[in-house]
A = this chain, B = another copy of it.
Amino acid sequence: MTQPIDIAVIGATGTVGETLVQILEERDFPVGTLYLLASNESAGSAVSFRGKNLRTREVDEFDFTKVRLAFFAAGPAVTLSFAPRAQAAGCTVIDLSGALPAEQAPAVVPEANPQVLDTLKAPATLHSPSAAAVALAVVLAPLKHLVDLQRVTVTACLAVSAQGREAVSELARQTAELLNARPLEPRFFDRQIAFNLLAQVGPSDEQGHGVLERRLVRELRELLDLPLLKISVTCVQVPVFFGDSYTVSLNASEAVDLAAVNQALDTAPGVELVQDEGDFPTPVGDAVGQDVVYVGRVRGGIDEPQQLDLWLTTDNVRKGAALNAVQLAELLIKDLV
């Protein structure tokens, strides 16, 4: 049996951090002592683990030599400040913020590129990538050797929960205001999100690409080990609480064998394929709370056999973030932690 491991979760009071703690319990991860850490504002609040309420402490005052594994589920600034301390203390670090440079923290999705783990030495630093990259990598990895991918075009319809609890409250509040014919007062978002779509998520650069969009392109190329893959992505904020959805359009160099694609997806780890005619998975009805990426609407192009279109939906907080990080930890504890 694996020895229990002392663990720190930084950002334990956020939506991802809290789910991560819950998944450690659900999957019976060999946790010794669990330290829940947060930045000043959130420290002090309690998170439930194995029937006890654990109080969160200030990350600033934490001695990282107490743990062997640290999950960074806080924002990039917190990761940049404290990950070096954890590394210096000999901790294995799993970063969910994407703040650490790729050459220092390779992105890994167990269903896509687990072979990267073999190249690491303990204590390792890993990057559990964005929810969008996790979802796409889980689905595209089993197709990579079946379809000679030339181009991937993605519209990512992102749930508000990716922006944290405030965004979730804001969607609920705005919706209630509108249904009660009260004047709308946007706070978290800069405009109406209820019954509306926002064409951009987070800041963008001078070329007009969103930070999240560039991140997805970079991470997906790394996860699929296709550094030159052409990827076009638009992130849209949709009025959905939990569960990201993606339309994915793939162009191949040769005709796509749809039967082989369906078979590969049907048996791929981390994928649940919906094949019933006329049916399709939805974020609320299928994805939320589940450990898989749902795939549906698998179809070829209209008049074009080199084309493949898919619809994906997955729990952005769970499968897209917290679960992937725990899956990485499960692989790491075999020999690296």
Contact = CB atoms under 8 A, between A and B. Distances in A.
Interface stretch (A30-38, A229-237, A265-273, A322-330): A229-237
Contacts of A236: 157, 245, 247
Interface in A14-71: none
Nearest to A196: B284
A87 interface: no
Given A192-B284, A234-B309, A234-B311, A197 B299 contact: no
Given A175-B179, A217-B302, A232-B249, 8 more contacts: A171-B195, A176-B179, A195-B284, A196-B285, A199-B311, A234-B311, A239-B240, A249-B249
Interface in A123-181: 151, 153, 155, 157, 171-172, 175-176, 179
A101 interface: no
The copy count of this chain in the complex is 2
A282 interface: yes
Interface of A: 151, 153, 155, 157, 171-172, 175-176, 179, 191-192, 195-200, 203-204, 206-209, 213-214, 217, 230-232, 234, 236, 238-241, 245, 247, 249, 251, 277-278, 280-285, 296-304, 307, 309, 311, 313
A299 B234 CA distance: 11
Contact of A297 (B195, B200, B238): B200
A280 B199 contact: yes
B285 A192 contact: yes
A278 B203 contact: yes
A192 B284 CA distance: 8
28 contacts: A151-B251, A153-B153, A157-B236, A171-B195, A172-B179, A179-B179, A192-B285, A195-B240, A195-B284, A196-B283, A197-B238, A197-B245, A198-B280, A198-B282, A199-B247, A199-B281, A199-B297, A199-B313, A203-B278, A204-B277, A207-B299, A208-B300, A214-B302, A231-B302, A232-B302, A234-B249, A234-B311, A239-B239
